Amino acid sequence: MSPVSGAVLLPVERLRRDFPILGERINGHPLAYLDSAATSQKPQVVLDAITDYYRAANANVHRGAHALAERATDIFETARERVARFIDADPQGVVFVRNTTEGINLVAYGWAGHHLGPGDRLVVTEMEHHSNFVPWQEVRDRTGCELAMIPVDDDGRLDLAAAARLLERPTRLLAVTHVSNVLGTVNPVAELVAMAHRSGALALVDGAQAVPHRPVSVRQLDADFYAFSGHKMLGPTGTGVLWGRPELLEATHPFLTGGSMISVVTPERTTWTEVPHKFEAGTPDIAGAAGLLAAIEYLEGIGLAAVDAHEAELAHYAMEVLSEVGDITCYGPPVSDRPGILSFNVRGVHPHDVGTILDRAGVAVRAGHHCCQPLMRRLGVAATVRASFYLYNTRAEVDALGAALTDVRRIFAEPAPPA
């Protein structure tokens, strides 16, 4: 997971031309989009794949004996196969959902809600996005199971000794993020999964900030469930994936029922069709799958190791730029072992004010709690500013961030105007 040293640098200027939105001007400045952890921008090939689908293949999938239905089904199922290959998994375990949140809820409602009860326990971590925290609180409240939390240490890493202690006791499920969306911490997921398995637990990994940026093999991680979002990896909004071991998906109840997910329906009872289709009730986002397929082909053409190395280099540079600005507190582990996510605060300035001033200079960052309120409490702050990088970002954009932050300091250093 560490950046590949000596990797060939990306031809960023050429890649940028593939993303029409990057030519936008914002408030009179060139756009510096540093918010890809929220959602990525989309290359023209993804936009084309969506319109081509509607122009030449639009029909419902898995239904109708006509040529267009076959084309649509072929695109949809090819997308499933390519997703599976992308994360080194079997297509039978790939369920199309709307986003990471829906994937995790599917496991929370469909598996945990049916298999856990009083006396069982779930373990999560203090750095989870609310999407991998609130569903487990709900499971706790509905089933009466216990919910424990692995703490984060002062460097923004998981306390592995505490994790080992928590997982010494029998546990049913560990839910952990692969990469923190606030701190950029890359968790030792294979080690945590092994700990979970020794305690008899299944392991669900939230891969929302990992799959877009670095090679991931669910097989090597030995995870049981793995969720991520297509829209953070150059794909369309409304696309996401839950991968699960097929035998566990068999034991998971469908979250939604209705059309396309049944085997036989009688007035008395209904049986489900096979995995993964039993989780895809109703007409799916076929155009979204076409776009996601194009996004994966685009990323494979570049190579994720190179993407990872490029982001790590930018994060390193950004850290230097931020330290030159001064009066900035950064959160998370040393930059040497983290990818392109940087959270920070400017002393004495509210993060939302920082975000607004940066936006005036065309620099798009996120300011807020980043859907991680338990982690904010641990850090002792209400919110942070977050810059996040992807394959299309440049050093010039980091310079624009630095210049705008210098403006922030200047503006807030000025004496207040007389009342």
Give me the active site residues, please.
371
CB of 366 to ligand 7TS, least distance (A): 6
Residues forming a β-bridge with 94: 243
Stretch of residues binding ligand 7TS (CB under 6 A), selected from 7-15, 54-62, 126-134, 344-352: 126-134
Residues 210-229 that bind ligand 7TS (CB under 6 A): 229
Under the binding rule (CB under 6 A), the answer on residue 131 touching ligand 7TS is yes
Q: What is the DSSP string of 358-387?
A: HHHTTEE-EEE-TT-HHHHHHHT-S-EEEE
Under the binding rule (CB under 6 A), the answer on residue 367 touching ligand 7TS is no
CB of 59 to ligand 7TS, least distance (A): 27
CB of 312 to ligand 7TS, least distance (A): 18
Under the binding rule (CB under 6 A), the answer on residue 343 touching ligand 7TS is no
CB of 156 to ligand 7TS, least distance (A): 14
Under the binding rule (CB under 6 A), the answer on residue 311 touching ligand 7TS is no
All residues at 6 or more sequence positions from 167 whose CB lies less than 8 Å from its CB, including other chains: 123, 174, 195, 196, 198, 199, 201
**What is d(CA 295, CA 139) in angstroms, rounded to the nearest whole number?**
34
| Residue among 15 and 104 whose Cβ is closer to ligand 7TS | 104
Instruction: List the Cα angle 152/158/164 in 5-degree steps.
Output: 115
CB of 206 to ligand 7TS, least distance (A): 5
- Strands, E, within 239-310: which ranges? 240-244, 262-265, 270-272
Residues 239-298 that bind ligand 7TS (CB under 6 A): 240
**What is d(CA 330, CA 377) in angstroms, rounded to the nearest whole number?**
16
CB of 370 to ligand 7TS, least distance (A): 5
Sign of CA dihedral 28, 34, 40, 45: positive
CB 204 within 8 A of CB 231: no
Sign of CA dihedral 299, 304, 307, 311: positive
| Residue among 101 and 345 whose Cβ is closer to ligand 7TS | 101
**How many residues lie near ligand 7TS (CB under 6 A)?**
17
Exactly one of 120, 126, 206, 280 binds ligand 7TS (CB under 6 A); that residue is 206
- The closest alpha carbon to 251, from 90, 115, 100, belongs to 115
**What is d(CA 302, CA 300) in angstroms, rounded to the nearest whole number?**
5
Residues 31-90 that bind ligand 7TS (CB under 6 A): 37-38
| Residue among 72 and 175 whose Cβ is closer to ligand 7TS | 175
Residues 89-118 that bind ligand 7TS (CB under 6 A): 99-101
Q: Which letter does DSSP use for residue 336 in this model? A: G
| Residue among 37 and 195 whose Cβ is closer to ligand 7TS | 37
What's the alpha-carbon Rg for the chain, to the nearest Å?
22
- Binding residues vs ligand 7TS (CB under 6 A): 37-38, 99-101, 129, 131-132, 177, 181, 206, 208-209, 229, 240, 366, 370
